[in-house]
Structure 1
Amino acid sequence: MKLIAKIDNFKNHAGIMKYLKNTSWLLADNVLKLIVGLFIGAWVARHLGPKDYGVFSYAASFVAMFGGIATLGLDSIVVRELVSKKHLNGEVIATTFILKVIGACIALLLLCAGLLLSDLSKEIRIIALFMGFSFIFQSVNVVRLYFQSIVKSKYFVMANVGSVIISAIVKISLILMDAPLIDFAKVFLFDAFTLSLFLMYFYIKKTNLKIIDYSFNTSLAKELLKDSWPLIFAAIASVIKLKLGQVMLGSLGSFEDVGYYAAASRLSELWFLIPVLLGSSIYPALIKAREVSPVLLKTRVLTITKVMLAFAIPFATIVSLLSEFAITLLFGDEFKEAGHYLAFQIWSGLPYVVLFAYSQVTYIEGMTKIHLYLAILSIVSIAIFNYWLIPLFGGIGAVYASLITALLGSCVMIILIEKDVKIFTKGAKYV
């Protein structure tokens, strides 16, 4: 009876139900992306084979390393502003969009310069260029931030579902037509374009803001960039931790190694969606908890961390044990070697998944410089360990480098945060 009463209380609690509904939409979205992305992605990999899939992944990784610049590290900062300054939402959205367009143009120019100065093949340069133009369309991502701030992610989800379905149809058609590698690079750009159209449609349909409400605010832009500039480096470092291994493998190893690494990443990175899924609903709640009291924020962060730890370790263990079977089932016997990569690679995401709520404290408390320090540490660590371990162990050496960097970065993050905030330890501020 007590259980039924608690369930009824949950149902009658407007705030709880609001976040549960939002999370349910995000769960449905990510399940769809998981199923479609995994199986269609595996089918594309089978179609291309380890070498061409390695070339495709190498180009995508090279482009992604510039993608952090395009975001300007604004996302979490903007959500915070949209939650706390609802009366200025029009200015925040317009200012953020303009900043993101500028960031995208800078990222694209730097990408072009990088391609010209590199010794990459003509094929890889053309593929990377197609992918790079997606930066421009990603500026519309500010719409997702708005829906996240008002805990109505269902509109973003609906936009994403439309884009995913169209993308899947196009990719299946290309596979059936035995299309060449370059056509799949064009789809990469097409995906960004269609998602931006769907986002704009739902935003125009669901927002009550008028044209007059939108204006670029120079003071606001300076304020946003002041908070976000360390996060630009953090965003770059985050991508580097995931992608630099593939780029260095292309230089120190072979494109077959890149193909194996990318296939394993396709599976290991799936559970990175968990923080994205929960964070979109939980982050606004953590901001409001901090407004009530530091103690409430600490309690919520600790609860989420314990739950994630109880889930993450058994999950990583199961994936590690079944890694070769999972890779062979999805990608075929040609990618069997990738199973060994996955067995270790799955553990590199463990600290990120477990500590995702804990890391949000840095945004809430304005401690964004920590991400700059971690960015520098990650770049140095991943470069050194890849350079050392790839020649010794081949492709799996890049996996070892990623795992070491993840563990090292998490330890340093905890040390820096606990110095001032005290979530895991007793201290004056969050006791």
Structure 2
Amino acid sequence: MRIPGIKGFDQQALEKYFKNTGMLMLARVGSMVIKMIVNTFVLSSYLGPTRNGILSYPMTIVTFSMAIAALGLDGFVTRELINHPERKATLLGTAFWMRLFAGFATLPLVYLAYEVITHFKHLNTPFTFVLIVAFTAVVQSINIIESFFQAQVQAKYIMYVQVAGNLISAGIKLSFVLIKLPLTYFVYALLFDAVIIAIGYVVVYHQSHNRITDWKFKMPIAAYLFKKSWPLAFSAILVSIYMKIDQAMITSYLGEAQLGIYSTVVSLSESFYFLPVAVVTSVFPAIVYARKTDIDRYYKRLQNMYDLMVGISLSVAIFMSFASTYIYRIAFHNHPAFWPGAPVLAVHVWAGIFVFLGSASGQYLIAEGYFKLSMLRTGVGALVNIVLNVFWIPKYGIIGAAYATLVAYGVATFFILFIPKTRGQGVQMLKSLFLISLFQKVIKR
């Protein structure tokens, strides 16, 4: 089947990268559907708001340690593999051992964070639950294999792993619900999710005629990777803060039952966040190539990407805003305690527009080497989110957290407008956000 042409992209390149995007999107669609049906609806209904909050809280804390353990290597290693494919064994091997060591190093930090939080607020979540989930950061060190497949434009392997992994995960959790197992089993299931994906990556890596045994650790490469990727690592930590701090603060201010409701909102709202990741990471090699060969085409491709991001995210936001009440009344018809999540979802889903644009502009910052700027804008967003949550959660409850998220994401995304060297990209995003670029294309046609 011939792919329709898009202005700004060569047809041959579009064919190649659309196939890669389509595969990655298929994997994410499968993950989204499974996550919404099993985790958000079936599991939440079975556990109820309080126990669902207890299950959600460990991942809230561990998200920060996972960001630390990743060391910002994924995107940077992908770029290095594109530019230096002959260094595959040393790049992947060095990055793997760096992530593995960092994963174990975060375990004491998780304990410290838990102790500090429980000193000020009594929690029903035991530390054993948090520790079990914390090992996810260790297991995910093998996920550096995904960078290799991204660099090779072979998203089909990622599709195989993610679809199979999520089907197995869903089957296990559904079985647990049917036989009415206690909460502890579902906590272990969170860790097992990461184990399934890790095993899957190892299997497909070997099936693609590669060997993990060929990987090599080299200290000079480790020093180089750390030097180049630490701003991305710090940025990822800040991202986890401004994306998850609302859930941590909801637990501190309002308790785990309110977190149980809010977690369903976040799960539904963020279930569409696979789209910008799928599209952007798949066409990123094409954008990097255009920067090397034709600078005008490079900026056209960026504009087209921003237009696409707004088109998708705006459609999702409008639909979910109107459908939120019906979703909660139908999905939780026997559990009205979850119904207050509907108006919160109608607010939170609009933050997705800024997430979509932020994902796209983030790749631009990587392509240009503006790693510290990426870190700075994320830090600004995290700070805004924390400050707003301090004032709005006690006053407005969980909908205050949703508004804080919306404002913080917007500030972080468009912070590049205040930096002279990136202001042009901010203007391009504004043209997409207010549909100016789209109307210009329609008029030209």
TM-score w.r.t. length of structure 1: 0.91
CA distance in 2, matches of 1:281, 1:103: 27
Name the structure 2 match of 1:370: 373
Q: 1:380 aligns with which of 383, 407, 410?
A: 383
Flag the 1:237–1:210 CA change in 2: closer, same or farther, 3 A: closer
Q: Displacement of 1:209 after TM fit?
A: 5.6
Flag the 1:320–1:94 CA change in 2: closer, same or farther, 3 A: same
CA distance in 2, matches of 1:43, 1:359: 35
Equivalent position amino acid for 1:149 in 2: A
Aligned length: 418
In terms of mean alpha carbon deviation, does 137-146 or 407-416 score higher?
407-416
Name the structure 2 match of 1:134: 136
Equivalent position amino acid for 1:90 in 2: A
Name the structure 2 match of 1:328: 329
Q: Displacement of 1:205 after TM fit?
A: 1.5
Flag the 1:27–1:224 CA change in 2: closer, same or farther, 3 A: same
Indicate yes or no: 2:158 matched with 1:159: no
CA distance in 2, matches of 1:124, 1:247: 15
Indicate yes or no: 2:276 matched with 1:266: no
Equivalent position amino acid for 1:336 in 2: W
CA distance in 2, matches of 1:372, 1:355: 12
Q: Displacement of 1:115 after TM fit?
A: 2.3
Q: Displacement of 1:210 after TM fit?
A: 8.0
Q: Displacement of 1:25 after TM fit?
A: 1.3
Name the structure 1 match of 2:14: 16
Equivalent position amino acid for 2:114 in 1: L
Q: Displacement of 1:225 after TM fit?
A: 1.2
Indicate yes or no: 2:38 matched with 1:40: yes
Name the structure 1 match of 2:83: 84
Which digits, 9 at most, give the CA deviation of each residue in 1:257-281, with x for residues without a partner? 2112111111100121111111221
In terms of mean alpha carbon deviation, does 309-318 or 74-83 score higher?
309-318
Name the structure 2 match of 1:353: 356
CA distance in 1, matches of 2:312, 2:194: 33
Name the structure 1 match of 2:61: 62
Task: Output the aligned Cα RMSD.
Answer: 2.2
Name the structure 1 match of 2:257: 256
Residues 260, 341 of structure 1: 8 Å contact kept? no
Q: Displacement of 1:76 after TM fit?
A: 0.9
Flag the 1:236–1:306 CA change in 2: closer, same or farther, 3 A: same
| 1:29 partner SS | helix
CA distance in 2, matches of 1:279, 1:251: 35
Name the structure 1 match of 2:432: none
Q: Displacement of 1:122 after TM fit?
A: 6.6
Equivalent position amino acid for 1:415 in 2: F
Residues 39, 330 of structure 1: 8 Å contact kept? no
Q: Displacement of 1:414 after TM fit?
A: 3.5
Name the structure 2 match of 1:402: 405
CA distance in 2, matches of 1:344, 1:52: 25
Q: Displacement of 1:92 after TM fit?
A: 0.7
Correspondence 1:150-299 to 2 at 5 A:
150-208=152-210, 211=213, 213-299=214-300
In terms of mean alpha carbon deviation, does 80-89 or 152-161 score higher?
152-161
| 1:81 partner SS | helix
Residues 233, 375 of structure 1: 8 Å contact kept? no
Flag the 1:373–1:128 CA change in 2: closer, same or farther, 3 A: same
Q: Displacement of 1:129 after TM fit?
A: 0.9
Equivalent position amino acid for 2:399 in 1: I
Which digits, 9 at most, give the CA deviation of each residue in 1:34-56, with x for residues without a partner? 11111001100000001111121
Q: Displacement of 1:106 after TM fit?
A: 1.9
